[in-house]
Chain A
């Protein structure tokens, strides 16, 4: 699964979902994804992560995606987090 495919897949979380993908090793199977989406509203971080992993369950199970570390935010959380740095 290449970065473009992964980005498109994660954008299916819903409208106004912003996804940034980093291929950590250049081998297209160790990714970090930063996702900002209204779909995360009112959800604990663990539930946000579960929503994301559900989208790539097949690729994770098959090992096509070996590692995926996540940074998830609602739009409001993202503004708050970025205002600190």
Chain B
């Protein structure tokens, strides 16, 4: 992980600021992309009350830092209890299998 970029630690800090954090295009209230919208829906359906959304469209440098931090090329990117879980497909699949609810209910370790 490239630690020379100070924004990477900011990404890490944000990712730990709530039980569920989504770096996305737009906001949970006004998503600007279908995948981001669907991911928010899935997270709410899994019982997330305090979803924190971060709009990468309005902060290019943070977006770059995010991709450095997770080494994942696409957005949205979802964190549960500060742990990078994946994008829309993975979160949806985990929801279908009940694994997303498990991850949310797991006490922060």
Contact = CB atoms under 8 A, between A and B. Distances in A.
Interface of A: 44-46, 49, 69, 71, 77, 80-81
A45 B85 CA distance: 8
Given A45-B85, A45-B90, A45-B99, 5 more contacts: A44-B85, A45-B93, A46-B84, A71-B93, A77-B97
Contacts of A77: 97
Contacts, number: 20
Contacts of A81: 97
Nearest to A72: B93
B28 interface: no
A80 B96 CA distance: 12
Q: Which 7 A-B pairs have the closest CB atoms?
A: A46-B86, A45-B90, A46-B90, A45-B94, A81-B97, A46-B85, A45-B86
B64 interface: no
Interface of B: 72, 83-86, 89-90, 93-94, 97, 99
A8 B93 CA distance: 25
A45 B83 CA distance: 12
Contacts of B97: 77, 80-81
B102 to A, nearest CB: 11
A46 B85 CA distance: 6
Contact of B86 (A49, A69, A71, A80): A49
Contacts of B89: 69
Contacts of B83: 44
Nearest to A69: B89
Name, among A46, A77, A80, A81, the residue most crowded by chain B CB atoms within 10 Å (CB to CB).
A46
